[in-house]
Amino acid sequence: MTTDAEIARAAVLRPIAEIGARAGLPADALYRYGPYKAKVSFDAQEALPERRGRLVLVTAISPTPAGEGKTTTTIGLGDALNRIGRRTIICLREPSLGPCFGLKGGANGGGRAQVVPQDEINLHLTGDFHALTAANNLLAAMIDNQVYWGNPLGLDPSRVTWRRALDMNDRALRDVVVGLGGNGAVRQDGFDLTVASETMAVFCLAASLGDLHERLGRMVIGQDFARADVRADAVKATGAMTALLRDAFQPNLVQTIDGSPALVHGGPFANIAHGCNSVVATDLGLRLADYVVTEAGFGADLGAEKFFDIKCRAAGLSPAVAVVVATVRALKMHGGVAKPDLGAPDAAAVRRGAANLRRHVENVRKFGVPVVVAINHFTADTEAELAEVFACCADLGVGAHLCRHWAEGGAGAADLAEAVAALADGGTARFAPLYPDALPLADKIDTVAREIYRADGVALSPTAVRKLARFEAAGHGHLPVCMAKTPYSFSADPAALGAPSGFTLPVRDVRLSAGAGFVVALCGDIVTMPGLPRRPAAETIHVDASGVIQGLF
């Protein structure tokens, strides 16, 4: 067995009630979707004790085409913790359909470190993203509908900022004109991928169904003719949106190939949003388990920073340990090796590229969270190359552990698990966000740019300056910032790998996500509706004669 699909299909899945029992959930807490998926009911959640588990964040070096295996490591570490007798739940974000049809698979781990059943997790899971799409588009329909029926809110159709959404990579919908043919106000509009919608960000940051309703109501959907912000509440859509999302808001329970419970729930974009699974899933995990292993999007400069400054701040979470994932291959790319040349051993390149790892480790420590490095093993890694990574970590005073969970499942990450458990139990974490709520928005951007990206400074566009002033005047100055920057570099230039310095971070525009509760700083062009490639994966996906879906992952 060599492919992820073959391994996933050969896995013997346990009934979801058995996984629920491992997680500490009685059978009647589970709202089942077939034999291997369930939602955890609100009633069961309410009956649980307070949070007691220790929160472990898995993050990574700056991503490269070589692959780092952050999700794989999150799963492998969770499996390993369970194997060494630590009751652990894994929390992951749900995959979007878009990438499944465009490239391949929803990034739910690989090798022997996967969440299963993969087909179902990739395609619809329990329908959460469909519910989010519907809720997002109900609001859009009600916005245009009130304009059609005499526009009692005085909404300026040319200043509607709320966009429609689909969970489908559809380039042709990026920029559209709606309302033609006498069907209301003709105006420019566009579709975002559902995961890039504020509806998704709100869903993932809401602490309860009531909080979800309030946050949806706070979302700004455009401006009226007097240039005042109009909120979703004014459109009277948020009750029905909450009704559409009620069932979806319950976290999904699935399992890893190793049999660990995994909560797979919510999945916002990691650029214009914060990029991690729902607060309610993390909260549920912390109330059930001794350890919760979760991941953040992209590299630590974006993913971990947002995890700490946005999610942990909003949800009152206090992480105990952070794992920074690196691979020899990826460090070689950060050290200047091109992808076609990755096959050749090059310890010197690893040494150069380790500057990227070093900076991420230093950054995570700034949040008061102890760090350990996971080296996700590839068979072609040489001893000399690995020695460079260990040397870098020794110099940093950070533990480093070679992990073989891809090939071996949880057993391959036992050393990492022991180290993580020891750090978590050591109680050395002194978590604090990078900046206080009270700092002005521009200073928050500046702080992240200097402290995390190591920029010399920030160049705010005149538009950004003007809008930040407007946001602060409107009472949004206390919000954290959500940086939308290329994940491939600490700088805004995706080609500047390694650990660039001496640059200025350009911020061309800013956007308010008042419901999610952050201000997005756009440092470059951010695609919120991807397109399909010339040869989409969808062309080869099919159901075979036995009813098995082939080509999906």
Asked about 486 being catalytic, the answer comes back as: no
The answer to whether the CB of 43 falls within 8 A of the CB of 311 is no
Q: Is 426 annotated as ligand-binding?
A: no
User: What are the DSSP E strand ranges found in 164-259?
Assistant: 164-166, 176-178, 187-189, 191-193, 220-224, 229-231, 252-256
Q: Which of 29, 57, 140, 300 binds a second copy (CB under 8 A)?
A: 140
Residue 250's nearest CA partner among 268, 237, 238, 265 is 265
Segment 322-381, which members bind a second copy (CB under 8 A)? Answer: none
Q: Is residue 541 near a second copy by the rule CB under 8 A?
A: yes
SS3 for 504-540 is: EEEECEEEEECCCCEEEEECCCCCCCCCCCCCCHHHC
Residue type, 51: R
**Per annotation, catalytic residue among 72, 194, 242, 327:** 72
The answer to whether the CB of 464 falls within 8 A of the CB of 509 is yes
Site string for a second copy, 186-205 (x = CB under 8 A): --xx----------------
Cα–Cα distance, 57 to 303 (Å, whole number): 10
Cα–Cα distance, 3 to 171 (Å, whole number): 30
Q: Is 526 left (phi over 0), alpha (psi -120 to 50) or beta?
A: beta
Min CB(42)–a second copy separation in Å: 6
Min CB(265)–a second copy separation in Å: 16
Residue type, 43: D
Cα–Cα distance, 518 to 478 (Å, whole number): 9
Q: Which of 141, 380, 422, 474 binds a second copy (CB under 8 A)?
A: 141
Segment 26-65, which members bind a second copy (CB under 8 A)? Answer: 31-35, 39, 42
**Per annotation, catalytic residue among 101, 191, 308, 406:** 406
Q: Which of 10, 172, 338, 495 binds a second copy (CB under 8 A)?
A: 172
278's tokens: 């729902």
Asked about 93 being catalytic, the answer comes back as: yes
Segment 59-98, which members bind a second copy (CB under 8 A)? Answer: 97
Pick 122 or 356: Cβ nearer a second copy: 122
Q: Which of 138, 304, 322, 492 binds a second copy (CB under 8 A)?
A: 138
Pick 98 or 498: Cβ nearer a second copy: 98
Cα–Cα distance, 60 to 66 (Å, whole number): 13
Q: Could you say which DSSP state residue 185 is in? A: -
The answer to whether the CB of 334 falls within 8 A of the CB of 356 is yes
Which of the ranges 286-294, 344-352, 448-456, 541-549 carries the binding residues for a second copy, by CB under 8 A?
541-549
The answer to whether the CB of 504 falls within 8 A of the CB of 457 is yes
Pick 227 or 534: Cβ nearer a second copy: 534
Q: Is residue 542 near a second copy by the rule CB under 8 A?
A: yes
Q: Is residue 166 near a second copy by the rule CB under 8 A?
A: yes
Asked about 378 being catalytic, the answer comes back as: yes
Pick 383 or 544: Cβ nearer a second copy: 544
Q: Is 539 annotated as ligand-binding?
A: no
Q: Which of 1, 85, 175, 339 binds a second copy (CB under 8 A)?
A: 175
Q: Is 332 annotated as ligand-binding?
A: no
**Per annotation, catalytic residue among 70, 164, 329, 485:** 70
Segment 480-499, which members bind a second copy (CB under 8 A)? Answer: none
521's tokens: 């700083």
Q: Which of 64, 96, 169, 278 binds a second copy (CB under 8 A)?
A: 169
- Burial class of residue 390 (count of CB atoms within 10 Å of its CB; 0-12, 13-18, 19+): middle
Q: Is residue 12 near a second copy by the rule CB under 8 A?
A: no
Q: Is residue 158 near a second copy by the rule CB under 8 A?
A: no
Segment 14-33, which members bind a second copy (CB under 8 A)? Answer: 31-33
Q: Which of 170, 290, 362, 451 binds a second copy (CB under 8 A)?
A: 170
Asked about 351 being catalytic, the answer comes back as: no
Q: Is 275 annotated as ligand-binding?
A: no
Pick 36 or 471: Cβ nearer a second copy: 36
Min CB(206)–a second copy separation in Å: 13
The answer to whether the CB of 163 falls within 8 A of the CB of 197 is yes
30 CB-near residues (< 8 Å, 6+ apart)? 16, 17, 20, 38, 39, 40, 41, 44, 253
Pick 428 or 540: Cβ nearer a second copy: 540
Q: Is residue 142 near a second copy by the rule CB under 8 A?
A: yes
Q: Is 99 annotated as ligand-binding?
A: no
Q: Is residue 154 near a second copy by the rule CB under 8 A?
A: no
How many of the other CB atoms lie within 10 Å of CB of 206?
A: 27
**Per annotation, catalytic residue among 9, 14, 104, 365:** 104
Q: Is 21 annotated as ligand-binding?
A: no
DSSP for 337-393, please give it: --GGGTTS--HHHHHHHHHHHHHHHHHHHTTT--EEEEEE--TT--HHHHHHHHHHH
Segment 209-248, which members bind a second copy (CB under 8 A)? Answer: 209-210, 213, 236-237, 239-240, 242-244, 246-247
Q: Is residue 174 near a second copy by the rule CB under 8 A?
A: yes
**Per annotation, catalytic residue among 131, 237, 270, 455:** 270
Q: Is residue 178 near a second copy by the rule CB under 8 A?
A: yes
Min CB(25)–a second copy separation in Å: 15
Cα–Cα distance, 426 to 423 (Å, whole number): 5
In this structure, the chain runs to a length of 553
Min CB(280)–a second copy separation in Å: 14
The answer to whether the CB of 377 falls within 8 A of the CB of 418 is no
Q: Which of 13, 67, 120, 386 binds a second copy (CB under 8 A)?
A: 120
Angle at 540 between CA 535 and CA 542, to 5 degrees: 150
Q: Is 472 annotated as ligand-binding?
A: no
Cα–Cα distance, 197 to 162 (Å, whole number): 9
Asked about 249 being catalytic, the answer comes back as: no
Cα–Cα distance, 304 to 431 (Å, whole number): 12
Helix axes 70-83, 414-426, angle to 10 degrees: 80
**Per annotation, catalytic residue among 191, 298, 308, 503:** 298
Q: Is 67 annotated as ligand-binding?
A: yes
Which residues form the catalytic set? 70, 72, 93, 104, 270, 298, 378, 406
Q: Output the known binding site for ATP.
A: 64-71
Q: Output the known binding site.
A: 64-71
